[in-house]
Chain A
Amino acid sequence: AQKVTQAQTEISVVEKEDVTLDCVYETRDTTYYLFWYKQPPSGELVFLIRRNSFDEQNEISGRYSWNFQKSTSSFNFTITASQVVDSAVYFCALSEPYNTDKLIFGTGTRLQVFP
Protein backbone atom coordinates (compact mmCIF):
# COMPACT_ATOMS: atom_id res chain seq x y z
CA ALA A 1 0.00 0.00 0.00
CA GLN A 2 1.12 3.54 -0.58
CA LYS A 3 1.73 5.78 2.37
CA VAL A 4 3.27 9.15 3.17
CA THR A 5 4.60 9.92 6.63
CA GLN A 6 5.36 13.38 7.92
CA ALA A 7 6.53 12.71 11.43
CA GLN A 8 6.85 16.36 12.44
CA THR A 9 3.42 17.67 13.34
CA GLU A 10 4.56 21.16 14.24
CA ILE A 11 7.80 23.12 13.98
CA SER A 12 8.49 26.58 15.36
CA VAL A 13 11.46 28.66 14.30
CA VAL A 14 12.58 32.24 14.50
CA GLU A 15 12.88 34.26 11.33
CA LYS A 16 16.08 33.68 9.33
CA GLU A 17 16.58 30.19 10.70
CA ASP A 18 16.82 27.30 8.25
CA VAL A 19 14.23 24.55 8.66
CA THR A 20 13.83 21.09 7.13
CA LEU A 21 10.50 19.33 6.81
CA ASP A 22 10.74 15.57 6.57
CA CYS A 23 8.76 13.29 4.28
CA VAL A 24 9.06 9.51 4.05
CA TYR A 25 7.00 7.51 1.59
CA GLU A 26 6.14 3.90 0.82
CA THR A 27 5.22 2.56 -2.58
CA ARG A 28 5.67 -0.59 -4.63
CA ASP A 29 5.48 1.34 -7.89
CA THR A 30 8.72 1.93 -9.75
CA THR A 31 7.28 5.03 -11.36
CA TYR A 32 5.68 7.60 -9.16
CA TYR A 33 5.57 11.31 -8.47
CA LEU A 34 6.18 13.19 -5.26
CA PHE A 35 4.79 16.60 -4.43
CA TRP A 36 4.95 19.31 -1.84
CA TYR A 37 2.02 21.65 -1.26
CA LYS A 38 1.77 24.68 1.00
CA GLN A 39 -1.47 25.50 2.79
CA PRO A 40 -1.36 29.02 4.24
CA PRO A 41 -3.98 30.21 6.75
CA SER A 42 -6.25 31.17 3.86
CA GLY A 43 -6.72 27.43 3.25
CA GLU A 44 -5.96 27.15 -0.44
CA LEU A 45 -3.33 24.55 -1.32
CA VAL A 46 -0.43 25.95 -3.30
CA PHE A 47 1.67 23.66 -5.48
CA LEU A 48 5.39 23.91 -4.71
CA ILE A 49 7.14 21.09 -6.53
CA ARG A 50 6.66 17.84 -8.42
CA ARG A 51 9.40 15.24 -8.64
CA ASN A 52 9.49 12.21 -10.94
CA SER A 53 10.83 9.02 -9.35
CA PHE A 54 13.48 8.70 -12.05
CA ASP A 55 14.94 12.10 -11.35
CA GLU A 56 16.98 12.10 -8.16
CA GLN A 57 18.59 15.46 -8.72
CA ASN A 58 18.06 17.83 -5.87
CA GLU A 59 16.30 21.03 -6.71
CA ILE A 60 16.64 24.57 -5.50
CA SER A 61 14.16 27.35 -6.05
CA GLY A 62 15.08 30.53 -4.29
CA ARG A 63 15.02 29.84 -0.55
CA TYR A 64 13.41 26.43 -1.10
CA SER A 65 15.31 23.22 -1.76
CA TRP A 66 14.33 19.58 -1.97
CA ASN A 67 16.42 16.50 -1.25
CA PHE A 68 15.09 13.33 -2.91
CA GLN A 69 16.74 10.10 -1.68
CA LYS A 70 15.27 6.94 -3.21
CA SER A 71 17.52 4.77 -1.06
CA THR A 72 15.76 6.00 2.07
CA SER A 73 12.40 6.76 0.41
CA SER A 74 12.59 10.35 1.55
CA PHE A 75 11.75 13.66 -0.06
CA ASN A 76 12.71 16.37 2.42
CA PHE A 77 12.04 20.07 2.03
CA THR A 78 14.33 22.79 3.35
CA ILE A 79 13.51 26.47 3.70
CA THR A 80 16.58 28.63 4.05
CA ALA A 81 16.44 31.92 5.95
CA SER A 82 12.79 31.40 6.89
CA GLN A 83 10.35 34.30 6.86
CA VAL A 84 7.08 34.93 8.67
CA VAL A 85 5.24 34.47 5.35
CA ASP A 86 6.47 30.88 5.28
CA SER A 87 4.14 30.09 8.17
CA ALA A 88 1.74 27.47 6.85
CA VAL A 89 0.97 23.78 6.86
CA TYR A 90 3.11 21.88 4.38
CA PHE A 91 1.94 18.62 2.84
CA CYS A 92 3.99 15.98 1.10
CA ALA A 93 2.09 13.76 -1.35
CA LEU A 94 2.65 10.70 -3.53
CA SER A 95 0.74 9.95 -6.71
CA GLU A 96 -0.44 6.75 -8.29
CA PRO A 97 0.59 7.43 -11.85
CA TYR A 98 -0.97 6.12 -15.02
CA ASN A 99 -4.13 5.27 -13.16
CA THR A 100 -6.20 7.95 -11.54
CA ASP A 101 -3.34 10.17 -10.46
CA LYS A 102 -4.89 10.08 -7.02
CA LEU A 103 -2.66 11.79 -4.50
CA ILE A 104 -1.86 10.19 -1.18
CA PHE A 105 -1.15 12.95 1.33
CA GLY A 106 0.82 12.98 4.52
CA THR A 107 -0.77 14.50 7.61
CA GLY A 108 1.15 17.72 7.15
CA THR A 109 3.68 19.73 9.14
CA ARG A 110 2.61 23.04 10.62
CA LEU A 111 5.47 25.53 10.39
CA GLN A 112 5.34 28.65 12.50
CA VAL A 113 7.95 31.31 11.85
CA PHE A 114 8.19 33.95 14.54
CA PRO A 115 9.65 37.41 13.96
Chain B
Amino acid sequence: GAGVSQSPSNKVTEKGKDVELRCDPISGHTALYWYRQRLGQGLEFLIYFQGNSAPDKSGLPSDRFSAERTGESVSTLTIQRTQQEDSAVYLCASSLDATGEFYGYTFGSGTRLTVV
Protein backbone atom coordinates (compact mmCIF):
# COMPACT_ATOMS: atom_id res chain seq x y z
CA GLY B 1 0.00 0.00 0.00
CA ALA B 2 0.89 3.65 -0.09
CA GLY B 3 1.63 3.92 3.60
CA VAL B 4 2.07 1.91 6.76
CA SER B 5 -1.28 0.55 7.90
CA GLN B 6 -2.05 -0.46 11.47
CA SER B 7 -5.11 -2.17 12.86
CA PRO B 8 -7.12 -1.79 14.92
CA SER B 9 -6.81 1.95 15.36
CA ASN B 10 -8.28 1.67 18.85
CA LYS B 11 -8.52 -1.27 21.20
CA VAL B 12 -10.05 -1.41 24.66
CA THR B 13 -9.41 -4.62 26.54
CA GLU B 14 -9.88 -5.95 30.04
CA LYS B 15 -6.90 -6.52 32.24
CA GLY B 16 -5.59 -10.04 31.85
CA LYS B 17 -6.76 -10.53 28.26
CA ASP B 18 -4.43 -11.05 25.30
CA VAL B 19 -4.34 -8.60 22.39
CA GLU B 20 -2.90 -8.69 18.90
CA LEU B 21 -1.87 -5.57 17.03
CA ARG B 22 -1.25 -5.70 13.31
CA CYS B 23 1.09 -3.74 11.04
CA ASP B 24 1.16 -3.73 7.24
CA PRO B 25 4.37 -2.01 6.13
CA ILE B 26 5.02 -0.30 2.84
CA SER B 27 5.49 -2.90 0.12
CA GLY B 28 9.17 -3.65 -0.37
CA HIS B 29 10.30 -2.23 2.96
CA THR B 30 12.50 -4.87 4.51
CA ALA B 31 12.94 -3.21 7.89
CA LEU B 32 10.04 -2.95 10.33
CA TYR B 33 9.97 -1.43 13.81
CA TRP B 34 7.56 -1.35 16.70
CA TYR B 35 7.56 1.55 19.15
CA ARG B 36 5.40 2.36 22.15
CA GLN B 37 4.29 5.84 23.12
CA ARG B 38 2.81 6.31 26.56
CA LEU B 39 0.63 9.35 27.16
CA GLY B 40 2.73 12.51 27.08
CA GLN B 41 5.94 10.59 26.53
CA GLY B 42 8.39 10.02 23.71
CA LEU B 43 8.63 6.86 21.69
CA GLU B 44 10.19 3.74 23.21
CA PHE B 45 11.75 1.21 20.86
CA LEU B 46 10.33 -2.30 21.23
CA ILE B 47 11.59 -4.53 18.43
CA TYR B 48 13.16 -4.42 14.98
CA PHE B 49 12.67 -6.86 12.11
CA GLN B 50 14.94 -7.28 9.12
CA GLY B 51 12.97 -9.48 6.78
CA ASN B 52 11.26 -12.07 8.97
CA SER B 53 13.92 -12.23 11.65
CA ALA B 54 14.22 -9.99 14.68
CA PRO B 55 17.87 -9.19 15.39
CA ASP B 56 16.97 -6.65 18.06
CA LYS B 57 14.25 -7.37 20.60
CA SER B 58 15.94 -5.38 23.33
CA GLY B 59 13.00 -3.04 23.89
CA LEU B 60 10.34 -5.63 24.66
CA PRO B 61 9.41 -4.81 28.27
CA SER B 62 8.61 -8.34 29.44
CA ASP B 63 7.99 -11.88 28.27
CA ARG B 64 4.32 -11.00 27.92
CA PHE B 65 5.29 -9.14 24.75
CA SER B 66 6.12 -10.96 21.53
CA ALA B 67 6.12 -10.16 17.85
CA GLU B 68 6.43 -11.98 14.59
CA ARG B 69 6.65 -11.11 10.95
CA THR B 70 5.76 -13.31 8.02
CA GLY B 71 6.37 -13.08 4.30
CA GLU B 72 8.65 -10.09 4.89
CA SER B 73 5.42 -8.18 5.17
CA VAL B 74 2.79 -8.16 7.91
CA SER B 75 3.87 -8.06 11.53
CA THR B 76 1.85 -8.85 14.63
CA LEU B 77 2.65 -7.60 18.12
CA THR B 78 1.04 -9.74 20.80
CA ILE B 79 0.63 -8.72 24.43
CA GLN B 80 -0.44 -11.50 26.76
CA ARG B 81 -2.22 -11.01 30.08
CA THR B 82 -2.46 -7.26 29.53
CA GLN B 83 -1.82 -4.91 32.44
CA GLN B 84 -2.94 -1.32 32.88
CA GLU B 85 0.63 -0.09 32.35
CA ASP B 86 0.44 -1.53 28.82
CA SER B 87 -1.99 1.25 27.89
CA ALA B 88 -0.27 3.30 25.20
CA VAL B 89 -0.19 3.99 21.49
CA TYR B 90 1.73 1.30 19.65
CA LEU B 91 3.38 2.63 16.52
CA CYS B 92 4.77 0.64 13.64
CA ALA B 93 7.28 1.99 11.13
CA SER B 94 9.01 0.61 8.09
CA SER B 95 12.04 1.59 6.06
CA LEU B 96 13.67 0.41 2.88
CA ASP B 97 16.78 -1.04 4.47
CA ALA B 98 18.48 -0.91 7.84
CA THR B 99 22.01 -0.92 6.45
CA GLY B 100 23.91 1.65 4.49
CA GLU B 101 22.29 4.98 3.85
CA PHE B 102 19.34 5.55 6.12
CA TYR B 103 16.58 7.98 5.33
CA GLY B 104 14.36 7.36 8.28
CA TYR B 105 11.07 5.62 8.67
CA THR B 106 7.51 5.94 7.55
CA PHE B 107 5.23 5.57 10.54
CA GLY B 108 1.72 4.22 10.74
CA SER B 109 -1.05 6.02 12.62
CA GLY B 110 -0.73 3.67 15.56
CA THR B 111 -3.03 1.51 17.65
CA ARG B 112 -4.29 3.13 20.83
CA LEU B 113 -4.53 0.39 23.44
CA THR B 114 -6.48 0.98 26.62
CA VAL B 115 -6.45 -1.68 29.33
CA VAL B 116 -9.30 -1.33 31.82
Contact = CB atoms under 8 A, between A and B. Distances in A.
Binding between chains A and B: yes
Interface of A: 4, 33, 35, 37, 42-45, 47, 50, 91, 93, 95, 97-108
Interface size class of B (residues with CB under 8 A): 20 to 34
Given A45-B93, A47-B106, A91-B43, 8 more contacts: A50-B103, A97-B102, A101-B48, A101-B98, A101-B102, A102-B45, A105-B44, A106-B42
A102 B56 contact: yes
Interface of B: 31, 33, 35, 41-45, 48, 50, 55-56, 89, 91, 93, 95, 98-100, 102-110, 112
A100 B55 contact: yes
A35 B93 CA distance: 15
A16 to B, nearest CB: 28
Contacts, number: 62
Contacts of B35: 105
Given A33-B102, A44-B107, A47-B106, A107 B33 contact: no
Given A100-B56, A102-B48, A42 B109 contact: yes
